[in-house]
Structures are given as C-alpha cells and as structure tokens.
Amino acid sequence: MNDVVYEVEHSVEALVSSTFAWDWRTDVKNWDDPPAQFQLDGPFAAGSWGTTRLPGQEPLRWQIRDVQPWRSFVIEMRLDRATLSFEWRFDAVSDRHTRLSQRIVLAGDNAAAYAPQVREAFGSNLPDGMSRIAAAMASASSQSAG
C-alpha cells in the first residue's frame, strides 16, 4: 500500500485450534465491540460488504478482501481518498494454540486527515481488544467442547 500514514499491529495467542479461531472470527455475530454493531451482507467471502453502526454516526461501510481460508483476511474501509484496512492472520502454534495477529493500516493521499482519529481509536486499545477476542474464543471453544 502506498502513502501509509499510520499502522499498528498486535498479536496474541488464543487457546483454540486455528480452525476454531477462523470459524469463530469470521462469524460476524461474534464481533463484540460495544457500542458498535456489525452486519455482513452475504457470506464471509472476498467482495462481500458489511456495515458498522455507532450511535450518533453515519453507518460505516466496509468490504472483505484477500481471503485466504483459515489463514488470513482483510477488512477494508474506503474513506475520502484514503483506506483503512484491518488485516487478520491466524497462525497455528500447535493443535490447540493459535497466534492471532491484526495489523491496522491507514493509507492514501488524504490519510493524514484521519490519522488522529484512527490513532486514538486503535493505537492504545489494540492489545486489550485482541486479548478480549482471544479470551472470548477460548471461552466459546470450551463451551462447545463441554
């Protein structure tokens, strides 16, 4: 991507298989980030569109890109002459441990206009958010096994 203005990445290990991690994370019903609400229009596949709704704001549209089943996907949000992308990777550490990585990239001719908001929303919050996702996956996995 050209004109990268901001990027941040974080990885955590989840106590689940990589298959479980993929299946759980690609089910939008599991996306829990109040007060945001998420909707996917169609299957979790490259080209499908989704919407994020936040109270008091216009809905944010995004598109799924670059799906490599059970390995990685990208959620891309087009802004005015900029793109915000969320790149997810799923790496099996063992049969029951998966390294989840998320890289957030803001790029484009007008990306600097969005940098303060993106940095505030994701910069310091990414590690805690990733840890919450890993814990929720592990909890869901143990409930489905029990």
pLDDT digits (tens, 9 = 90+) for 64-99: 999 999 999 999 999 999 999 999 999 999 999 999
Q: Which residues pair with 76 in a beta bridge?
A: 63, 85
Specify the pLDDT at position 32.
86
Specify the pLDDT at position 111.
97
Q: CA 46, 53, 144, 141 torsion: positive or negative?
A: positive
Residues 39 and 50 sit within 8 Å (Cβ to Cβ):
yes
> Which regions in the chain score pLDDT beneath 50?
none
Specify the pLDDT at position 34.
84
Specify the pLDDT at position 2.
64
Specify the pLDDT at position 146.
61
Rg for the chain (alpha carbons), in Å?
A: 15
